[in-house]
Structure 1
Amino acid sequence: MTNPEVERLPIRDEGLVGTMFLQKKSNKYPTIIVLGGSEEGLREGDSALLASHGFNTFSLAYFGIEKLPSELVHIPIDYVEKALNWLMNQRDIDPNRIGVMGTSKGGELALLSASMLPSIKAVAGYVPSSVVYPGIGKRGSELSSWTYQGDEIPFATGKVSEAELQQDKREAKTGLQFTYKNIYLQMAKGQEKAEIPVEKINGPILLISGGDDQLWPSEELSDRAIRRLKKYGHRFTYEHITFPLAGHSIGSPNLPTTMSMEAPFGQGVKLLLGGTPKDNAHAQTDAWEKVKRFFKENL
């Protein structure tokens, strides 16, 4: 439930699709752009909850709804840039205190956007990737997820072993649970060209991962970002917090976690997400407190 001091405002302006959650009291509040993952459409829950703790938030859809792209393929970073510029021209928005928070594929987008758009002053990524991966959709495997000014962002094209591909086919046919973790690991191996230049981010960075993430290797990918930040001497603070026994389902607190270890994948197949209900619940609660503190201290 949203705090009664927060106003919900649907946004359909300049091609943007989203929802603002605004503090009703007249003041210049810090604002956070909130990006969902590969589930498509408009996801408002995290934005509403975060707004209840003294922020303006902008839940921004970027594919799979209305006139936006139907698949997570070639999504323009220009669209996030447009949202950022739109925010900076709104009343009660402090243009010098805008951050971004993204989950899963949205975490990849958050890190990439912040590395390219210096007006973003703080970034939090839940189970993110620090490597640009191919798009997700019928035409996604051979195209990047993202573009900027019409150019495709370089993406990971590492070869996945035939043994891994055959294992996935067997699991899909037999209805067993399966994981994408090893596929994503192999795709990113040696793919420096696809690394997000996180050292260019104009502010502090917080990364949160699950050590048992079976959807993709968020712990390893976050560690990769930290190594790059150290290598290039990032001038702002940065931190990676991992929950060793948690999986991919780290997000808002107090949500049911009994089903957060797996997800339906069609034709009776279940996609492993990792973790246990107990550990995922702990990670959700602890991570949420750290994210709130991070934005309060840095915006």
Structure 2
Amino acid sequence: RTIRCRTICTTNDVVPPILSVTPSRALVDEKFKVLVENLPPGYPVTVRSLHNSEDKHDWEAYGHYVSDHSGVVSVSEDLSYGGTYTGKEPMGLLWSMRPVPGSRPGLRLRKMNVCTPMLVTISVHSGHEGFRDQAPLASVLTERWYMAPGIQRITNNEQGVQGTLFIPPGPGPFPGLLDMWGGGGGLLEYRAALLASHGYVSLALDYLRFDQESENLELKYFETAFNIIKDHPQVMSDRVGIFGLSLGSLVAVTLAAYSTIIKPCCIVCISSNHYYPAQGSTVASRFEGLYKARVNEDNQVIWKDVGLEFITDPSNIVGRINCPTLLVNGCDDQNWPTVETAEDVARLMREAGKEHLLSRLAYPDTGHLIEPPFSPHFRATTFVIHSSKEKVLLLWGGKTKPHSDAQEDSWRKILSFLQFHLYCGPCLKAKI
């Protein structure tokens, strides 16, 4: 669906500009096309995106363009000569979003209510300077969704497991995924909702809300969560995988290596972590040493150096993994030594005769927070330490353009990996 919006022009042009966004309603990992027509030839304009987040902060991106001989600007085809991105960048209006000037430092943009869209206003302004102070020549309100139509969202409190289950529309059965984020804790649903939009029954798991009394109880918690998916009538019981980022990737590796109760069909580990110290500790308690990490000149906390000490520990588990494993890492990750971790994982699996099970993706100038495509890049954000509730500014790493390219490329390859190992057939693609 396309919205074409005309406004009363503030100049003396006979025909006002026309701005169109196609599609104006889409999943967050779908591309759109932004077109401005009826401009004078060689006319300078600024195309801007603006989003007011759920926590009431304004985010923007913009590019400076010049119309062609027919008075047209195509964001997909034309060069941006300046702004938050430059060059030919069809989706720069999304991935280069940043807080508007004057916002407090350390903000991070995350969708908390997946039942509503991310609303983004695309507008076109005359000239390349002072665009924030002028009325737009035209504007269009677009919707970006994590959850496709027809998906069921079900709050799960079954068997003590806290999470949210997303079930794709249709008769099923579908493959399943246990989805886990990292050490920030809390229940984050947006990636699980997007995975369901691609045909997977996905359980977004909250696993740091409650303190577990022992490692064995904690392992049981994760096994129970996995089995909730496996035993669901809409799920193919032999096609359930695990998807984890950061601390969640440690859980994925631990379950694949040590559990005698569950057998994941495959695992995806973003910003991978395989550190497994002496028995007897829980996931949350294993990383207390990180909180003593160094601070740089910008007062940003860096955990990578302490992590290097952790991965030299002789206790390791990856040689026990018996399922296809995908590691996705950024080479400028300042939060965890993921490149070194991936090398260590490859060595250990090779020594165990299981290197054929391992696939690796490594991206230059890419940080720790590798999110779904077109998500803004966050080099450093405010982070609440789980144990002490202290707020720090945590350095994640990465440079905006290469990090964003990595998010787009890795998501496509992650979906291909999941399709191959869980569907063994054509990849399902949901559309809005």
Q: Same fold (TM over 0.5)?
A: yes
Contact preservation (8 Å) 1:208, 1:241: yes
The residue identity in structure 2 corresponding to 1:144 is S
Contact preservation (8 Å) 1:69, 1:75: no
Rounded Cα–Cα distance in structure 2 between residues aligned with 1:60 and 1:112:
16
Aligned mate of 2:264, from 97, 120, 130:
120
Rounded Cα–Cα distance in structure 2 between residues aligned with 1:225 and 1:183:
18
Q: Which runs of 5+ in 2 are unaligned?
A: 1-144, 385-389, 423-432
For these two proteins, the number of residue pairs brought into alignment is 269
Q: 1:95 to 1:250 in 2, by over 3 A?
A: same
Structure showing the higher helix proportion among its residues: 1
Partner in structure 2 of residue 192 of structure 1: 314
Greater C-alpha radius of gyration: 2
Q: Which runs of 5+ in 1 are unaligned?
A: 135-141
| Residue 72 of structure 1, CA deviation | 12
Rounded Cα–Cα distance in structure 2 between residues aligned with 1:145 and 1:245:
32
| Residue 236 of structure 1, CA deviation | 5.0
The residue identity in structure 2 corresponding to 1:108 is L
| Residue 36 of structure 1, CA deviation | 0.9
CA deviation map 1:39-81 (0-9, x unaligned): 11111011011111111111111112xxx22899987111111
Rounded Cα–Cα distance in structure 1 between residues aligned with 2:224 and 2:392:
39
Rounded Cα–Cα distance in structure 2 between residues aligned with 1:63 and 1:72:
13
- Root-mean-square deviation (CA, aligned residues, Å) is 3.0
Q: 1:23 to 1:271 in 2, by over 3 A?
A: closer
Please give the TM-score of this superposition, normalised by the length of structure 1.
0.81
Rounded Cα–Cα distance in structure 2 between residues aligned with 1:112 and 1:284:
25
Aligned mate of 2:219, from 65, 77, 92:
77
Greater CA deviation, 267-276 or 235-244?
267-276
Rounded Cα–Cα distance in structure 1 between residues aligned with 2:258 and 2:391:
41
Aligned mate of 1:254, from 371, 374, 378:
374
Rounded Cα–Cα distance in structure 2 between residues aligned with 1:285 and 1:265:
25
Task: Answer 1 or 2: higher relative contact order, Cα 8 Å, separation at least 6.
Answer: 1
The residue identity in structure 1 corresponding to 2:406 is A
Greater CA deviation, 262-271 or 112-121?
262-271
CA deviation map 1:220-245 (0-9, x unaligned): 11211111111101175211111121
Q: Identity, % of aligned pairs?
A: 26
1:106 aligns with 2:248: yes
Aligned pairs for 1:113-262 within 5 A: 113-117=255-259, 118-132=262-276, 144-146=281-283, 168=294, 171=295, 176-189=299-312, 191-193=313-315, 195=316, 197-234=317-354, 237-257=357-377, 260-262=378-380
Greater CA deviation, 217-226 or 94-103?
217-226
| SS of 1:186 mapped into structure 2 | helix
Partner in structure 2 of residue 138 of structure 1: none
| Residue 116 of structure 1, CA deviation | 2.2
Partner in structure 2 of residue 139 of structure 1: none
Rounded Cα–Cα distance in structure 2 between residues aligned with 1:223 and 1:75:
31
Contact preservation (8 Å) 1:100, 1:124: yes
1:53 aligns with 2:229: no
